[in-house]
Chains A and B, each alone.
Chain A
Amino acid sequence: MNKQMLTGNVAAAWGARLAGIDYLPAFPISPQTEIIETVAEWIDTGAMDASMTTMDSEHSMLTAAGGAAATGVRVFTATSSQGLLYGMEMIYALVGWRVPLVLVNVSRGLAAPITLEPDHNDVLAARDSGFLQLHCSTCQEVLDSILMAYRLAEDRRVRLPVLVNLDGFYLSYTREPVIIPDLEEARQFVGPYDPGTVRFAAQAPVSEAVAVLGGESYSYFRYEVQMAQAQALAVYGEIAAEFAACFGREQARIDAYRAEDAEYLFLMIGSFATKAMDAVDQLREAGWKIGLLRPRLLRPFPEQDLRQLAAGKKGMAVIDQNLSFGRGGILHTEVTSSLYGQSGAPSVIASFVGGLGGRDIAAEEFYQIAQDLRQACVRGIQPPMRLLYTAAELTAMRNLQAIANVPAPERKP
């Protein structure tokens, strides 16, 4: 078995290499750049047979990615944060093109103020684009998800682009032991690229991504994306079962950790979910019946799985590393709407927002979240959203403001 210490970025590059990609249009952005540098080096040394072009922007990068996929090659590309937003017009367009490429996003907080460290507002800005979304919590999962993503994207029943997300720093620059599957086995699992019927060929011309007039045609094409997304839930299940049989690793739509006999649940996505697992273990030792749900698949949203896993639980705490200003945590909204009116659904679904721009979520905070959740369940009251922030953090902030010579706000007499 080939097991090596890899960063999440290098694991992503390995995913692309093992999937047998043909083409990588690229544009540098921290903390993603290591992915394209790694692939570039492999191409230069002949370790990998693919072609790569460094573009002039993410918008151009995604357009080139779509153009190449529509011409009939397997395409991989990667970005992060501001880059994802700069290319957002094309994120939505590529879905309409029905091109099955894979895009890795390395999550990073959005400007302003600009930062390098992660949260999930960047990837969730693409939530409604029609890209499928897989969220990873370990470097191993990054590699595995890319292999599965190609199967998912290229499946005749789906044919949509897939986004694989990993957190900046906590995965991108963090090394962990990663099993690198055998090249032949990986290629066999992913299979050869089937360009489908929508592609440019000299003998069979196609006019692609053409305009429509009127809501009737437009609605049809948009509804078909929804139908394909809905179908992708089952397709993912098939692919995950095959993956487990080939490589021995389970990648369920929702990862349920010590959830079966739990009365309370945390719900999180991404790398910090392993911190929540740690908290679950500690709380269990202290006598709590608590577990964790971690959706891997965010689009399509595994609503039925969530309903089954949440049934009979007393309460759930959704911890969002994102903030929809004026509303709250985005996952919390998704979860509550999925469980609304379901018999046996938890009576309290509490919302916590933390980990923005790489802020830590401390073990004590997980414990207190559990306490607050239990209290709310006892009282039978849905608690207000809690923004995780401490007195010490505010004091430190005040000191920074003083150094920045920020004039104190005027006080009215």
Chain B
Amino acid sequence: MYRIRFHGRGGQGMKMASHILGTAFFLAGFEVQDAPRFGAERRGAPIFAYVRAQKAPIKERGIISHPGLVLVADESLVPLPAAGILHGVEETTVLFLNSREGGAVWKARLNFPGTVLALDLIGNDLNQPGGQRFFGAICAGAAAALTGVIPEDVLMQAIEDELIHVEAIVVQENKTRARAAFLAMQDKAGIVEEGSGVKVDGYRRPAWIDVPLDDAGLAAPAIHGRRTSELMKTGAWRLRKPVIDTCRCKGCWWVCSTFCPDSAIVVESGRPRIDYDHCKGCMICMVQCSSHAISLVNEKEEVSGE
């Protein structure tokens, strides 16, 4: 069975990627299962989606624990434990990243047990409003090629089927990116193999315990104390960030600090400071700052500049 996982952020089209690939497998004569998985997080937060496909009916369900292929739409997710990109990867797992850095760099950096492939189709999408929504098509195109069992025309048909209610120009954009990824990965066709699943022989015994009786105070879904949400680093949702030009900032502070929905601009000795651990990159502060002291910087650009 092909077990394929897509990792991205809310808004990057991961559900769409799983649907395009699912339909492509289906059109190619496979039994398929595709599903998105998201929790409470919103646009920008890590999410994933998955596809299972094989010729025989599929009985396995739920999250894929032993993926044959993991696709990452947004490389900034890789270091986030919450994204779970490396969950269950093995020597037979292929990792694909939509990244400006090469596969070898990533393999070494992650000490990844299997093959790592990287492709830079990011282009200008990070800077275009809504540009990131095409990341899904890139991943679906790459996945289709890497399995080696989905022809290009079937992939294109799947995109048309899935985007039937979408404007023609958007469908075209998706097809262009998916085709580019498909062609770029065509020389690796078939590198992703069908996995066999967990065998009875030598399986690992589950470490079941007898559930302890805890005091009701402990056993109630209650949080004691204040502001524990500060431990959630929602800064990880961000792809671009506001930067305050301290020369231009007139120290009015109330505008950016009051308008920030997330309490992520704190005022220290009359000057605003952006809490990058939590700033989600909505950029309200930049738009509202009347002295134009806040500018937009892409996360990635600054990282490579450091």
Contact = CB atoms under 8 A, between A and B. Distances in A.
Chains A and B touch each other in the complex, with CB atoms below 8 Å apart = yes
Interface of A: 96-98, 156-160, 196-198, 204-214, 217, 220-221, 223-228, 230-231
Contacts of B215: 156
Contacts of A196: 216-217
A158 B214 CA distance: 10
Interface stretch (B132-140, B177-185, B222-230, B287-295): B222-230
Interface in B177-203: none
Contacts of B213: 157, 224, 227-228, 230-231
Contact of B219 (A210, A211, A212, A224): A224
B247 interface: no
B39 A224 contact: no
Contacts of B219: 98, 220-221, 224-225, 227-228
Contacts of A223: 211
Given A205-B225, A211-B40, A213-B40, A228 B220 contact: no
B216 A205 contact: no
A98 B220 contact: yes
Contacts of A214: 39
B221 interface: yes
Nearest to B41: A213
B212 interface: yes
A210 B223 contact: yes
Contacts of A230: 213
Nearest to A224: B219
10 contacts: A96-B221, A197-B217, A207-B223, A209-B221, A213-B40, A214-B39, A221-B221, A224-B213, A230-B213, A231-B213
B207 to A, nearest CB: 14
A299 B215 CA distance: 20
A38 to B, nearest CB: 31
Contacts of A158: 216
Contacts of A97: 220
B224 A206 contact: yes
B211 A210 contact: no
Q: How large is the interface on B (under 10, 10 to 19, 20 to 34, 35 or more residues)?
A: 10 to 19
Contacts of A220: 211, 219
B212 A98 contact: no
B211 A198 contact: no
A41 B216 CA distance: 35
A242 to B, nearest CB: 21
A156 to B, nearest CB: 7
Contacts of A221: 219-221
Nearest to A217: B221
Nearest to B219: A224
Contacts of B220: 96-98, 159, 198, 208, 221
Contacts of B40: 211, 213
Nearest to A227: B213
Given A206-B223, A211-B40, A227 B216 contact: no
B222 A224 contact: no
Contacts of B226: 205
A272 B56 CA distance: 58
Q: Which 7 A-B pairs have the closest CB atoms?
A: A159-B216, A224-B219, A197-B217, A98-B220, A227-B213, A207-B223, A213-B39
A278 to B, nearest CB: 41
Contacts of B214: 224, 227
Given A97-B220, A205-B226, 7 more contacts: A96-B221, A158-B216, A159-B216, A205-B224, A224-B213, A224-B214, A228-B213
A208 B217 contact: no
A217 B221 CA distance: 9
A198 B226 CA distance: 14
A206 B216 CA distance: 14
A221 B211 CA distance: 11
Contacts of A207: 222-223
A95 B114 CA distance: 48
A96 B46 CA distance: 29
B216 A212 contact: no
Contacts of B221: 96, 208-212, 217, 221
B159 to A, nearest CB: 32
Interface in B201-256: 211-217, 219-226
A266 B40 CA distance: 52
Contacts of A156: 215-216
A177 B226 CA distance: 54
A206 B222 contact: yes
Given A211-B40, A223-B211, A227-B211, A198 B225 contact: no
A97 B222 CA distance: 8
B237 to A, nearest CB: 16
A198 B217 contact: yes
B216 A228 contact: yes
Nearest to A159: B216
Nearest to A208: B222
A206 B225 CA distance: 6
Contacts of A231: 213
A39 B223 CA distance: 35
A197 B39 contact: no
Nearest to A205: B226
A210 B215 CA distance: 18
Nearest to B216: A159
B93 to A, nearest CB: 23
Contacts of B222: 198, 206-210
Contacts of B211: 220, 223-224, 226-227
Nearest to A157: B213
B17 to A, nearest CB: 23
A224 B215 CA distance: 9
Contacts of B225: 204-205
Contacts of A159: 216, 220
